[in-house]
Amino acid sequence: MRDLLENHLEPGYQVAAARRSERPISPRARRLGAGTRVLVLLAIGVLLAVAYAQATARAPQAARTRAALADDVRARAALTDRLQRQATALRRKLNEEQARALTSSAAGAQAVRRLTDLDGATALVPVRGAGLIVTVGNAGGTPDPLTGVRPQNDPTTAGQIQDRDLAAIVNALWASGAEAISVGGQRLSPTSTIRSAGGAILVDFRPVSSPYQIRVIGDAGRMQPRFADSKAARSLTDFVQLYGITFKISRAGHLELPAAPATTLKYAVPSGPVR
Amino acid sequence: MIGAAALVVGLVLGIVFRPTVPIGLQPYLPIAVVAALDAVFGGVRAALDGIFDDRVFVVSFVSNVLVAGLIVFLGDHLGVGAQLSTGVVVVLGIRIFGNVAAIRRHVFRA
């Protein structure tokens, strides 16, 4: 250890110098030595250049890939948003045309009412009304001892809302008499999914983030006690105590929920004529 | 002087021709670079001390690179490659620092 820290020079240089002072070397050997020295230094130069090229080629490659993927994701999200808005507008136009065509007769008017109800129930059109807002959020985590900042959305800590928590809340809300629900701005249709991929929760394959705001349209006076008494709400209340998550239910006089992404039937065919 | 010129020519050659390193040798590239730097700074210091010797320089470079590579290779097969790489880098790093300090004393007399 001591030798390592004190003698940095190859001991060979000293020995060679001593040998040389005893017996001078021939000019031929000197030329040969200079040649090998040049060769070795050439090799070292190439080595350094190659290592540099490797280092610069590798790091930006990873960064470039990540940036390209992120751009891709954003572009696709914008595209689906635009298509979704277009679909909603077309849907509204279609409904208006349908209503105009049908309202000439009493039976037609009844059919229009029934269609409008069904469209609302299947989340094909935006709806509005009074109801509840349920907000759940991840626990803040323990504050950093140096900075005092609470880490947000750290997927490694306990107290993270999971996809099954959101699904349980949504199911309890349906059971309490909800007529329309949106999670993080995503309207739920009869075939909606809530699942997780990596650290993110996806509602119909669109990511939502904490705090999760669940908007519910329904009879608030009836839904609130029923939901508060449900298993999902009771366990969440326990988690508030245990892990420090946030969980809040409040009434809202006026809520507007968007339409859900349109579902197309691929295998099921409606049986009988639609009345 | 001719040595410095050879080093620069080597750098230019490496940049111009961009030789690709075989995948199997890539883990040894950083170690080889550190060993090469150790040999270069050792040689410069010896030259400033007036005791430079071609044979010692060439042999020390080749053996440094080979031994460092061998240690890492063995470490990889024993499952302690990362630790042994660190060890090699620490030992060679101390020598590089010491030699650069000696060069600095020669050049700046401080």
Mean pLDDT across B88-109:
86
Å from B90 to nearest chain A CA? Answer: 11
**CA separation for the pair A152, A146 (Å, rounded):** 16
Mean pLDDT for chain B overall: 83
Answer whether 0.80 is exceeded by the pTM: no
Percentage of chain A exceeding pLDDT 90: 19
Instruction: Summarize pLDDT for B29-46 with one digit per residue, the tens.
Output: 888 888 888 888 888 888
A90-104, A143-157, A209-223, B90-104: segment of lowest average pLDDT: A143-157
Nearest CA in chain A to B31: A51
The phi-psi region of residue B58 (left if phi > 0; otherwise alpha if psi is between -120 and 50; otherwise beta) is alpha
Beta-carbon separation of A48 and B14 below 8 A = yes
* Inter-chain residue contact B10 with A20, CB threshold 8 Å: no
pLDDT value, residue A139 = 78
Average pLDDT over residues A24-43: 77
Residue A122 · residue A190 · CB < 8 Å: yes
Count of A–B CB contacts within 8 Å? 136
List chain B residues with CB under 8 Å of A41: 3-4, 6-7, 10, 40
Asked if A46 lies within 8 A of B19 by C-beta distance, the reply is yes
Question: What residues of B are in contact with residue A40 (Cβ under 8 Å)?
Answer: 39, 57-58, 61-62
pLDDT tens column, A97-132: 888 888 777 788 888 888 888 888 888 888 899 999
> pLDDT tens digits, residue range A162-217?
888 899 999 999 999 999 999 988 899 888 889 888 778 888 888 888 789 999 99
Among B2, B32, B54, beta carbon nearest to A36: B54
In this prediction, does ipTM exceed 0.95? Answer: no
Strands A200-203 and A127-137, bridge-based pairing: unpaired
pLDDT tens profile B3-23: 778 888 888 888 887 777 777
**What average pLDDT does the structure give for chain A?**
82
B33 → closest Cβ in A37, A39, A51: A51
Residues of B with CB below 8 A from A51's CB?
29-30, 32-33
State which residue of chain A sits closest to B96, comparing Cα positions. Answer: A8
Question: How long is chain A?
Answer: 275
Q: Rounded to whole angstroms, how far apart are CA atoms A44 and A41?
A: 5
**Which single residue is written with the structure tokens 């390193």?**
B21
Long-range contacts of A204-211 (CB under 8 A, 24+ apart): A204/A260, A204/A261, A206/A77, A206/A80, A208/A183, A208/A184, A209/A153, A209/A184, A210/A136, A210/A137, A210/A138, A210/A152, A210/A153, A210/A161, A211/A135, A211/A136, A211/A137, A211/A138, A211/A246
